[in-house]
Chains A and B, each alone.
Chain A
């Protein structure tokens, strides 16, 4: 069980956090303009790298703020 650095609260136990997957996937400006394939990708496809990963976390049992963190999915280590 890791300590995760909440940018607002400081390091807290992993169990306080909710995972949100890949960061930086913006909601399309005009969904109606997307093809079904493009829309399907936006809805369902997220990066799944082995290694460095920019991802979203929410301090769900704390300040409830979402933030982006960089973690290595092979070692689980957060970049600090």
Chain B
């Protein structure tokens, strides 16, 4: 055990058990997996990815480049740093070789999101951040303070004094004061991982992993979406190693990390310690580790000065050049310019890199500070303040002053910028996770590379989990040295979110399963479910596709059988469809007619109140974007029906034209899709059903002609009847408000019972309309089809001076006789149903070698009860002129002969429309 009495803040009165690589260990609340393993003298906890070398813990928090492990229990999670895993009872983890394993069982944990708004967000609860938060809170700001560690205090070890008090007491008091403010939110274990425009910061809160067992009902992790008026970046700094040969062995660590291990966890990471530093901060580590009982030798290339911290350690001017290892691969001695020194811990410190990621995420420019040997925030950004070590201010007094919003006197710099010592470049590791060395950088520059981005890609330095937190600046510096150019001319690679790795599930949040996308259902959904409907997704809607009946053999009908039955019932008796998902837009105002004349290809202003007209809409390029019926409600009002998928986009389309091109038109647009439920009642007996529903309405063909509508009441409930047919049959669309929809639907079903009313779904609806050659926009069209291609020249006004898309009809390509046009296809074998999507080629008995010229494709294909055979709709090049021709459709290995027909296959004369 390397635990030292009298040190650390872990709760040694309680013992936690855990397993690592199959061996059981104990630790204490407050430990991390890394501290607990080090407390047991376990120094090797991973293998390197490329060279399979042993790796230990190099740094004590998220900047650690080496100590990645796999957690097995409580739930498998790959590639976590042992230094950031809080120890819990029952934790099982294992070492890995630079690659993790994903769980094969589903993660049942929940993840969620919350929003927070504040005047001041402070990232980092070290001394600078705490004071910044306190200053803002006292000013009356709403404050959010986040810190990624379990406790506030940042890098404070407990040995410091602040305002004459023990530093940790000061931290506790400040937190207490902040907590007393009603508008201050303190989020610990929360990593601000991305900073975006306008003070938008994303932070991940880890809520349950430190609790064992994890409480039920609490989300495991939460992404905070914080919108702050002002962002204070107080994220500290990362210590930078000095590169020496064989610097990747277990037992080699950053100096402040070893000190943190001692003060936070009571772990003395080595007994015989060599500290190699060119910066004063590491003297604290030397003194503290010596004070805790280690034998410490400090080597510093700088002349010995009198003002650095003294302690019970040996100090000499010198350089570490390399390391040696014992049988376990961990460090056993160092080679220095003065000879060999045995040790079990080498601490390296070449200075500090401000943790300026959150400043860089919003394109804050970094400038190179040659004295520090580091990049630090340059020109200030509006709304962002960087304070403390993140700003390159490394002394406690300076951090406190910046936290208070003051500008401290800069201290004289005493550090020496030293990137590496002499040694074999192939053994000098720069990125320990990627096994990348100085020699790799030298190869890259030797290959002609001059940009740090190229060097990064050539060597893979900075691409691992830590994204170069300890290696990035070193790589730039060594590249600069090799190229003989100043480091500032190279810069660093770009810091990009996230600051630390974030689980996919945490970002997915609650948007999973049925919450991935909203589910829209009609007012009758429960009825459809009870009736055994099979649903299909149409946009976000769940639509009943068909209603299978119990089959003869005990199961239920398959789709083909059910649809043939439903189709036959509609054309023989009467059927009813839930058409409520159709988009509905009320277009109102004195200029509503003029507006619709521009939106539709045909004339709408001439429609009289009480009448209905079918219309087609095109985009500017003259291609069909939607179709549907239009009811003229009164002089100034129209009700526009769109396709189900078109409801939102067509409203947007209309709004855009109305607001941006024709703001002078006095028109308002209101979506009423959800306000009206619509049920087509379809078939020869529909007159009986609708007549029974509305006895006061004369539903005779003379009194209620095709393409007209009337309002009525059913038991005092307003109901609209419209004689619209999407099947060629006598039909009414019955519309009612959503609240009364279930009752009205049941009424219709009951009234229809004597006539054999059959509820039918979208599939039958599609068959019935296809038999009549009515296209489905989006199925029989694909954005490249004009109204003329659909054979709908009749719906394109020649009288109107203009409408959207009209000019495009005159383009060369629109007049090309070989455009694809909508036609019918009849397989010569009437039992063969062509797969929708099949391609069509010239008639052939044998498939020629590719490329085979294609004439078009099958857009819709069904079995028809009315025709007693299969049929299809297709887009075929020059199709209208090919009617009567035979073509070939390759299906699987077969060549299916088909005949081109007109697109209207059932009742082309339209005799069924009036019953």
Which residues of chain A in 1-56 are interfacial with respect to chain B, using CB atoms and an 8 Å cutoff? 1-3, 11, 18, 20, 26-28, 30-32, 34, 36, 39-40, 42-44, 56
Q: With A3-B227, A31-B807, A39-B807 known to touch, is A64 a contact of B655 (CB < 8 Å)?
A: yes
Q: Which residues of B contact A77 (CB under 8 A)?
A: 197
Docked CA distance A44–B659 (Å): 20
| Residues 54-80 of chain A, each 1 if its beta carbon lies under 8 Å from chain B, else 0 | 001010100011100000000111000
Most B Cβ at <10 Å: residue of A26, A36, A65? A36
Q: Whole-angstrom distance from the CB of B786 to the nearest CB of chain A? A: 14
Q: In the complex, how many angstroms separate the beta carbon of B662 from the nearest chain A beta carbon?
A: 8
Select one of B198, B656, B810 contacting A2, CB under 8 A: B198
Chain A minimum-CB-distance residue to B619: A43
- B622 nearest in chain A by CB position: A43
B806 touches A27 (CB 8 A): no
For chain B, the count of residues having a C-beta within 8 Å of the partner chain is: 22
Would you give the shortest CB distance from B816 to chain A, in whole angstroms?
A: 13
| B600 CB–A CB distance under 8 Å | no
**A75 lies within 8 A of B802 (CB):** no
Given A2-B197, A3-B198, A3-B227, the answer on whether A26 and B661 have CB atoms closer than 8 Å is yes
The distance from the CB of A57 to the nearest CB of chain B, in whole angstroms, is: 11
The answer to whether B227 touches A75, judged by C-beta atoms less than 8 angstroms apart, is no
Q: Are B812 and A36 in contact (CB under 8 A)?
A: yes
Known A-B contacts A2-B198, A3-B227, A26-B661; the reply to A58 vs B655 at CB < 8 A is yes
Known: A3-B227, A66-B655, A75-B363. A43 touches B620 (CB 8 A): yes
Mask of B826-845 contacts with A, CB within 8 angstroms, 1/0: 00000000000000000000
Contact across chains for A39 and B811 when beta carbons are under 8 A apart: yes
By the criterion CB–CB under 8 Å, are B197 and A76 in contact?
A: yes
| Contact status of A65 and B659, CB under 8 A, knowing A32-B802, A43-B621 | yes
Give the docked Cα–Cα distance between A58 and B467 (Å).
38
Q: Is the C-beta of B208 less than 8 angstroms from some C-beta in chain A? A: no
Q: A60 CA to B659 CA in the complex, in Å? A: 13
Nearest-neighbour CB distance to chain A for B659, whole angstroms, equals 4
Residues of B within 8 A of A36 (CB): 810-812
B460 interface hit (Cβ, 8 Å): no
Query: Does chain A have a CB within 8 A of B196?
Result: yes
Q: Quick check: is B11 within 8 A (CB to CB) of the other chain?
A: no
Interface residues of B in 613-634 (CB under 8 A from A): 620-621
- A63→B196 CA distance, assembly (Å): 25
- Whether the pair A66, B659 counts as a contact (CB closer than 8 A) is yes
Q: A68's closest neighbor in chain B, by CB?
A: B660
Q: Counting CB contacts under 8 A, is B605 at the interface?
A: no
Residues of B with C-beta under 8 A to A64: 655
Q: List, in ascending order, chain A residues with CB within 8 A of B659's CB.
A: 65-66
Q: How distant is A14 from chain B, measured CB to nearest CB, in Å?
A: 8
- Across the interface, do A20 and B808 meet the contact criterion of CB distance under 8 Å? no
Q: How far is the CA of A58 from the CA of B655 in the complex (A)?
A: 10
Q: Which residue of A lies closest to B661 (CB)?
A: A27
Once the chains are docked, how many angstroms separate the CA of A39 from the CA of B812? 12
B200 CB to nearest chain A CB (Å): 5
- B652, CB-defined interface residue at 8 Å: yes
Contacts of B806 in A (CB 8 A): 31-32
A27, A28, A40: which has the most chain B beta carbons within 10 Å?
A27
> Residue B200 contacts which of A1, A26, A56, A66 (CB distance < 8 angstroms)?
A1
Residues in B whose Cβ lies below 8 Å from that of A43: 620-621, 808
Contact B660 A56 (CB under 8 A): yes
Given contacts A36-B811, A39-B807, contact A1 B196 (CB under 8 A): yes
Contact for A1 among B197, B363, B807, B812, CB less than 8 A: B197
The contact of B802 among A2, A11, A31, A76, by CB within 8 Å, is A31
Q: Are B652 and A18 touching (Cβ within 8 A)?
A: yes
A53 to B64, CA, bound (A): 44
Question: With a CB–CB cut-off of 8 A, which chain A residues contact B660?
Answer: 20, 56, 66
CB distance from B563 to the nearest CB of A (A): 38
Instruction: Tell me the minimal C-beta distance from A70 to chain B in angstroms.
Output: 16
Q: Please, which residue of chain A has its CB at the minimum distance from the CB of B671?
A: A64
Report the separation of the CA atoms of residues A58 and B669 in the bound assembly, to the nearest whole angstrom. Answer: 15
CB within 8 Å of A: which B169-208 residues: 196-198, 200
- B807 to chain A: which residues have CB within 8 Å? 28, 31-32, 34, 39
Tell me the B644-666 residues at the A interface (CB within 8 Å).
652, 655-656, 659-661
Q: B806 — nearest CB in chain A belongs to which residue?
A: A31
Encode contact with A along B592-626: 1 for CB under 8 Å, 0 otherwise: 00000000000000000000000000001100000
Q: Which residue of A lies closest to B202 (CB)?
A: A1
Write the nearest CB–CB distance from A22 to chain B, whole angstroms. Answer: 11
Query: Closest B-chain residue to A39, C-beta based?
Result: B807
Q: When the two chains form their complex, are residues B661 and A60 in contact, meaning their CB atoms are under 8 A apart?
A: no
Q: Specify which of B196, B656, B810 is in contact with A20 (CB 8 Å cutoff).
A: B656
C-beta contact mask, B792-819 vs A, less than 8 Å → 1, else 0?
0000000001100011101110000000
| Closest Cβ neighbor of A38 among chain B residues | B807
**In chain B, what residue has the closest Cβ to A26?**
B661
A39 to B227, CA, bound (A): 44
Q: Give the complex CA separation of A34 and B620 in angstroms.
A: 14
CA distance A31 to B810 in the complex (A): 11
- Chain B contacts for A18, CB-based, 8 A: 652
- Which residue of chain B has the shortest Cβ distance to A3 in the bound complex? B198
Q: How long is the Cα–Cα vector from A14 to B660 in the complex, in angstroms?
A: 21
Complex CA gap A32/B200 in Å reads 49
- Tell which of B198, B652, B801 has the most Cβ of chain A within 10 Å: B198
CB distance from B674 to the nearest CB of A (A): 16
Check if B808 sits within 8 Å of A39, measured CB to CB.
yes
Contacts of B801 in A (CB 8 A): 32
- Shortest distance from the beta carbon of A24 to any chain B beta carbon, whole Å: 10
Cα A20 to Cα B653 in complex, Å, equals 11
Tell me the smallest distance from the CB of B472 to a CB of chain A, in Å: 24
Residue of B nearest to A42 (CB): B620
Q: What residues of chain B lie closer than 8 Å to A75, measured between beta carbons?
A: 363
The reply to whether B197 and A60 form a contact with Cβ atoms under 8 Å apart is: no
| Cα distance, A56 to B659, chains bound together (Å) | 11
Cα–Cα, bound, A60→B648 (Å): 11
Q: Which residues of B contact A11 (CB under 8 A)?
A: 198
> Within B214-262, which residues are at the interface with A (CB < 8 Å)?
227
With a cutoff of 8 Å between Cβ atoms, the chain A residues found around residue B811 in the complex are 36, 39-40
Report A-chain residues with C-beta under 8 Å of the C-beta of B196: 1-2
Structural contact, B656 and A66, CB atoms closer than 8 A: yes
The residue in chain A whose Cβ has the minimal distance to the Cβ of B663 is A66
Closest beta carbon of chain B to A45's beta carbon, Å? 12
A32: B residues at CB distance < 8 A: 801-802, 806-807, 810
- In the complex the two chains form, what is the Cα distance from A77 to B198 in whole Å? 9
Nearest B residue (CB) for A36: B811
* Complex alpha-carbon distance, A36 and B56, angstroms: 70
Distance (whole angstroms) from the CB of B800 to the closest CB of chain A: 11
A52 to B329, CA, bound (A): 59
Q: Which residues of B contact A2 (CB under 8 A)?
A: 196-198, 200
Cβ-closest chain A residue relative to B115: A13
Contacts of A42 in B (CB 8 A): 620
Residue of B nearest to A28 (CB): B807
How far is the CB of A64 from the nearest CB of chain B, in Å?
6
A44's nearest neighbour on chain B, judged by CB, is B621
Give the interface centre of B655, B807, B812 by most chain A CB atoms within 10 Å: B807
Which of B197, B652, B806 has most A Cβ within 10 Å?
A: B197
Once bound together, how far apart are the Cα atoms of A57 and B652, in whole Å? 12
Interface centre among A28, A34, A66 (most CB of B within 10 A): A66
Alpha-carbon gap, A32 to B324, bound state (A): 85
Given contacts A27-B661, A56-B660, A58-B652, 12 further A-B pairs with CB under 8 A are: A1-B196, A2-B200, A20-B656, A26-B661, A32-B801, A34-B807, A36-B811, A42-B620, A43-B620, A43-B621, A60-B652, A76-B197
5 A-B residue pairs with Cβ-Cβ distance under 8 Å, sorted by A, are A20-B660, A31-B802, A32-B807, A42-B620, A58-B656
B interface residues with partner A (beta carbon < 8 Å): 196-198, 200, 227, 363, 620-621, 652, 655-656, 659-661, 801-802, 806-808, 810-812
Top 10 A-B pairs, shortest CB-CB distance? A31-B807, A3-B198, A2-B197, A66-B659, A43-B620, A27-B661, A1-B200, A39-B807, A66-B660, A1-B196
